[in-house]
Amino acid sequence: MKFFVDTADVADIKRLNDTGLVDGVTTNPSLIAKSGRDFIDVIKEICALVDGPVSAEVTATDAAGMIEEGRKLAKVAKNVAVKVPLTEAGLVACKTLSQAGTPVNVTLCFSPAQALLAAKAGAAFISPFVGRLDDIGQDGMSLIGEIAEIYSNYDFQTEILVASVRSPQHVVDAARIGADVCTLPPGVIWQLFKHPLTDKGLEAFLKDWEKTGQSIL
């Protein structure tokens, strides 16, 4: 499963990219606003740092506007994936941009029917938001299972990009289903490394090693 970082914070992306575990980045208008930076500048900078796809979201709400914005965003760097919302206009824009060779990430997906439409529109990625479904008392992860089942019945190339991830458990559940990608807030990635028994075990090993008086180098 690929790991994307869900942030527009370049410092966080740099640090995570150094782990060698980052396969791409997703941003959205809220994350850009949080960064306090110019949209195009920040996308350019992230694209130069990370080899994989970097999602940059359109803000027009009509298909023609989304296509125009998408074309502009696609020119920022070779690894831009244009993000469009899962609306009728978004899927029209998805089809046009995808046919022209631009990878499109269809975002704000909350149902298997929507995911089916996005695949038919040629989306490179579908972004189902698990956390936001959990927030309203639904089981977000069951949506991932349903989409995986539907996509596996056909020859769709659309990758399932699990979004709105809140915890390491979401990551594990998505991996067990076989989702293609998880986009993770930096905090969740750092949590993945952690286990109290790892810290405790390492402390004990190092204490015992010190007693031997040896050094490897």
**Residue 75 annotated among the catalytic residues of the structure:** no
* Rounded Cα distance, 201 and 198, in Å: 5
Number of residues that bind ligand E4P (CB under 6 A): 11
For residues 59 and 69, the answer to whether their CB atoms sit within 8 Å is: yes
Please choose, from the candidates 105, 150, 159, 109, the residue with its C-alpha nearest in 3D space to the C-alpha of residue 129.
109
Query: Least separation, in Å, of the C-beta of 198 and ligand E4P?
Result: 27
Asked if 7 interacts with ligand E4P (CB under 6 A), we say no
Residue closer to ligand E4P, measured from CB, 6 or 45? 6
C-alpha of 99 from chain center: 22
Residue with tokens 């998408």: 70
Asked if 102 interacts with ligand E4P (CB under 6 A), we say no
Task: Please identify which of the residues 83, 120, 200, 211 carries the catalytic annotation.
Answer: 83
Q: How many CA atoms lie within 13 A of 76 on its CB side?
A: 24
| Residues between 143 and 182 with contacts to ligand E4P, criterion CB under 6 A | 163-164
Asked if 131 interacts with ligand E4P (CB under 6 A), we say yes
User: Which range binds ligand E4P by CB under 6 A, 73-81, 123-131, 146-154, 167-175?
Assistant: 123-131
Residue closer to ligand E4P, measured from CB, 112 or 128? 128
Please choose, from the candidates 35, 26, 21, the residue with its C-alpha nearest in 3D space to the C-alpha of residue 129.
26
Contacts of 201 by beta carbon, 8 Å cutoff, 6+ apart:
none
Asked if 129 interacts with ligand E4P (CB under 6 A), we say yes
Please choose, from the candidates 76, 111, 69, the residue with its C-alpha nearest in 3D space to the C-alpha of residue 90.
69
C-alpha torsion 2→91→56→50, nearest 10:
30
User: Which range binds ligand E4P by CB under 6 A, 32-40, 46-54, 124-132, 142-150?
Assistant: 124-132
- Single-letter amino acid code for the residue at 57: E
User: Which range binds ligand E4P by CB under 6 A, 125-133, 149-157, 188-196, 203-211?
Assistant: 125-133
Query: Least separation, in Å, of the C-beta of 109 and ligand E4P?
Result: 10
Query: Would you name the residues annotated as active-site residues?
Result: 83
Q: Which residues bind ligand E4P (CB under 6 A)?
A: 6, 26, 28, 107, 127, 129, 131-132, 163-164, 183
